[in-house]
Amino acid sequence: MKMENMSLSGLDNTKLEALAQDIYSDLVEDACLGLCFEVHRAVKQGYFFLDDTDQESMKDFEIVDQPGVDIFGQVYNQWKNKECVCPNCNRSIAASRFAPHLEKCLGMGRNSSRIANRRIASSNNTNNKSESDQEDNDDVNDNDWSYGSEKKAKKRKSDKNPNSPRRSKSLKHKNGELSSSVNTDPYKYNYNTGINYETLGPDELRSLLTTQCGVISEHTKKMCTRSQRCPQHTDQQRRAVRVFLLGLSATSLPDSNTAVESDGYDASDGQVLMSRLQWDGSSDISPSDSASSKASTNNSDSKKPKKKKKTSLNSTGGGGGGSGSVGGSSSQGCLAGQANRKKPKLPVPPAPSIYDNLN
């Protein structure tokens, strides 16, 4: 087909059809040729055979879809006698009992000897009550009742997900009942000593708010002295009281997430006000702190163990600071840490490429 300059106008339909047909068949031919080259190359380079399988043995792997058997054609519930070797003690354990065994083996269980040893060791401790009774484990860890007391000797049970289908602890009910009675009759409830915020200076307030709930009761005008996870008040309330009492000093709110500045970098503000994390690489937030997963309605349990701020992305609990941590907000906000705001505008994080080094 010789190439020549042709004007398409003035051609009747049949000629146009013929042209189109020609072009189409050329394209198809080229495509077929391309495929031929691919196969030719695969054969010549020696990788054409890679697709081959042993047909007979492949039959062994066909999916079975019959009642009473699984996809491998096996009857259910024949796996009762599986065993495994515990990596900790090297004993052979029945697989279905491995989890309870491992718990004891690692000394994490309720009845493990480690707990018992600790019990013995702490029998001379002044804090006798907290250690000696397993049943009060939760109560102790919550430590809701004492003003300024140290948080969480054991983090395990107290880091529960408020949204998890855990077995209920009767103590939790107790806490709930007690707290709900506070509002009606604050003076009967002698654990709530109640702090009058007006008498405290900013430093005292700041340190107080790192360990306590601090929400100001409308009845008594006093600050709640329970833990930062106290179920009576919401995270939103806790945040609000901090903002109210301390302005926007970031250090008072290890996990607060209220963004406060309007857009526009206020460079003249020497202090970092309510710093938020920039997700441009300098973030301290671990996605495991994702507030959407922590957002709760009334319970602000933080489930992550507290770690130092300087560690990597997984620094949970929003970084060090308070021993208690204000969990997610009731409005599903994000947790903030304590990084500095670097830029006024947030850069778009680059989409990572999975196929970067693939070939």
350 belongs to the binding site for another protein (CB under 8 A): yes
Nearest Cα to Cα of residue 161 among 348, 356, 302, 270: 302
CB 126, min distance to another protein, A: 27
DSSP-derived secondary structure for 66-91? -TTB-TTSPBTT--TT-EEE-TTT--
The verdict on 308 binding another protein (CB under 8 A) reads no
- Are the C-beta atoms of 202 and 246 separated by less than 8 Å? yes
Judged by CB under 8 A, the residue of 6, 12, 13, 54 near another protein is: 54
Q: Is 96 in the site for another protein (CB under 8 A)?
A: yes
Does residue 325 belong to the site contacting another protein (CB under 8 A)? no
Residue type, 294: K
Query: Three-state DSSP class for 197?
Result: helix
Q: What is the largest CA-CA distance in the chain?
A: 108
Q: Which of 288, 340, 342, 343 touches another protein (CB under 8 A)?
A: 288
* By the rule CB under 8 A, 172 interacts with another protein: yes
The CB density around residue 129, as the number of other CB atoms within 10 Å, is 11
Contacts of 293 (CB under 8 A, 6+ apart): 163, 328
Among 179, 192, 212, 249, binds another protein (CB under 8 A): 179
Site for another protein, residues 9 to 48, rule: CB under 8 A: 26, 30, 33-34, 37, 39-41, 43-48
**Which residues within the stretch 61-80 sit at the binding site for another protein (CB under 8 A)?**
61-63, 65, 70-72, 74, 76-77, 79
Query: Which H/E stretch holds residue 42?
Result: helix 13-45
Please say which residue, 19 or 123, places its beta carbon nearer to another protein.
19
Write the DSSP string, 234-287: -HHHHHHHHHHHHTTBGGG-TT-----PPSS--TT--S-BS----SSS-----G
Please state, in angstroms and rounded to a whole number, the distance separating the CA atoms of residues 16 and 124.
102
> Which of residues 124 and 268 has its CB atom nearest to another protein in the complex?
268
Both tokens of 309, joined, read 């701020």
Residue 161's Cβ-side half-sphere holds a number of Cα atoms within 13 Å equal to: 11
Q: 255: Cβ–Cβ under 8 A, 6 or more apart, which residues?
A: 302, 317, 318, 319, 322, 325, 326, 327, 335, 336, 337
Contact stretch for another protein (CB under 8 A) within 114-122, 182-190, 202-210, 310-318: 310-318
> Is the C-alpha dihedral spanning 110, 112, 114, 117 positive or negative?
positive
Q: How far is the CB of 17 from another protein (least distance, A)?
A: 19
In the set 7, 164, 184, 190, which binds another protein (CB under 8 A)?
Answer: 164
Residues 180-219 that bind another protein (CB under 8 A): 180
From 195, 223, 250, 335, residue interacting with another protein (rule: CB under 8 A): 335
Q: Which of 143, 211, 252, 296 binds another protein (CB under 8 A)?
A: 296
User: Counting contacts by CB under 8 A, is residue 293 touching another protein?
Assistant: yes
With CB under 8 A as the rule, give the number of residues binding another protein: 142
Site for another protein contains 307 (CB under 8 A): no
Site for another protein in 231-260 (CB under 8 A): 231-232, 236-237, 239-240, 243, 247-248, 257-260
Q: Tell me which stretch binds another protein (CB under 8 A): 81-89, 115-123, 184-192, 195-203.
A: 81-89
> Torsion angle, CA of 353/357/358/359, rounded to 10 degrees?
130
Contact mark string toward another protein, 101..140, x via CB under 8 A:
-xx--x-xx-------------------------------
The CB density around residue 6, as the number of other CB atoms within 10 Å, is 9
The residue among 17 and 62 lying less far from another protein, judged by its C-beta, is: 62
Q: How many CA atoms lie within 13 A of 75 on its CB side?
A: 3
Verify binding: residue 268, another protein, rule CB under 8 A.
Answer: no
Residue 352 in the binding site for another protein (CB under 8 A): yes
Nearer to another protein, 70 or 133 (CB): 70
